[in-house]
Amino acid sequence: MTLLELRDVTVTYRGTAGEVPAVRGVSLDLAAGQALGVAGESGSGKSTLAMALLRLLPRDARVSGEILLDGEDVLTMKWGRLRAVRWASASVVFQGAQHALNPVRRIEDQLAEPLLVHGLATPAAARRKVAELLEQVGMPAWRARGYPHELSGGQRQRVMIAMALACSPRLIIADEPTTALDVMIQAQVLALIRSLIAEHGIGMIMISHDLSVLASMCDRLAVMYAGRVVESGPSHEVFQDARHPYSRALAAAFPTVGDPASRMAPKGLGGDPPDPRHLPTGCSFHPRCQVSLPSCASREVELWPAGGGPAPHTAACVRVLPETAGAQGEHGEEPGAHGEEPGARGAVSGRPVEEVQ
């Protein structure tokens, strides 16, 4: 069953710096109990998309499209309903979330608060639930009486995960949940999240720039570049056999899970991500692309079927179009090869696919 459906979601910030098109026409589906990883370099729009899901964006952000959570559009929901959804149906764990704990309140009071505020438990039942939640995230119940400063960073992040689980959500959005932690603790916390969502059948959207971490955690991956999804498919296919040149560069940059050296900008990917206020014409990636064709400077390709397997796999690259792929062979051509491309000038046969997962 589909838990979350995004249809043509677009977010534009309209601040003092002018219009920033941070997310451009993103369509994605997430099934109940499935984990979707969203990857992309800094500034590609991942956090903006995550915040849009629960309408947590600043006031100057304009959002359009549809965000259907259990079939209900989050973007048109009344306030009261939205508040209930934020607690009861979906929760968010943000980067550095452990700093969000109140330093002068006991852990148990902070964990019990959502349950009490939303009338989900009596004080006695809330205390029992807090002990249970701490146990689930691998912490002894006596920690409930303590304060955040008595915990390590990893333990505080575990408390934040416990808090996200408190109201038994159907969806967890985890935006770089472990980047503030050291590598060993990161691996532990990631394994914990993975086992908890599997055990409770929770859907998850996990955001990271590290494709290898996402591939190890998630069923499916979506790769974002300059506000668009440029590739999406089963994790192992996107990680091992990426069809978009940008996804391939990301996969090559993060070869192994948890490799500390991989916490850097993607190697082998020259140049910087574009400023969303001044996007290149055509395919936004073409100035950095090693296998671009002349038409890429003027033509933006939609997501097209790209995978060999039965599960949907799509990529937005001229090289996956049947006529281009057929005429030029598979990807992996000489860098900078600018051959003649049959599909570039003529009409494209068939229709681009809607992103389906």
Ligand X SMILES: Nc1ncnc2c1ncn2[C@@H]1O[C@H](COP(=O)(O)OP(=O)(O)OP(=O)(O)O)[C@@H](O)[C@H]1O
Q: How far apart are the first and last CA of the chain?
A: 11
In angstroms, the CA 132 to CA 70 distance is 27
Asked whether 148 and 103 are in contact (CB, 8 A), the reply is yes
Residue 186 binds to Mg ion (criterion: CB under 5 A): no
Token digits for 255? Answer: 């070869």
Which DSSP string do the residues of 118-137 spell out, in sequence order?
TT-S-HHHHHHHHHHHHHHT
209 is a site residue for ligand X (CB under 6 A): yes
The answer to whether the beta carbons of residues 118 and 80 sit under 8 Å apart is: no
299: nearest Cα among 274, 278, 280, 271: 280
* 24 lies in the binding site for ligand X (CB under 6 A): no
Nearer to ligand X, 145 or 277 (CB): 277
Do residues 299 and 282 touch, judged by C-beta distance below 8 A? yes
Question: What does 45 interact with, of Mg ion, ligand X, none (CB < 5 to 8 A by kind)?
Answer: ligand X
Q: Is residue 45 close enough to count as binding ligand X by CB under 6 A? A: yes
User: From the CB of 173, what's the least distance to ligand X, in Å?
Assistant: 12
The answer to whether 8 and 177 are in contact (CB under 8 A) is: no
When asked if residue 332 is in the footprint of ligand X (CB under 6 A), the reply is no
Q: What sign for the dihedral angle of Cα 73, 74, 78, 81?
A: positive
Segment 60 to 79, residues that bind ligand X, using CB under 6 A: none
Query: Which range binds Mg ion by CB under 5 A, 39-47, 101-109, 162-170, 236-244?
Result: 39-47
Q: Judged by CB under 6 A, does residue 13 bind ligand X?
A: yes
Smaller CB distance to ligand X: residue 278 or 351?
A: 278
Q: How far is the CB of 96 from ligand X (least distance, A)?
A: 11
34 binds ligand X (CB under 6 A): no
Q: Which residue is nearest to Mg ion (CB)?
A: 47
Write out the residues near Mg ion by the rule CB under 5 A.
47
Write out the residues near ligand X by the rule CB under 6 A.
13, 15, 17, 20, 22, 40, 42-48, 58, 209, 276
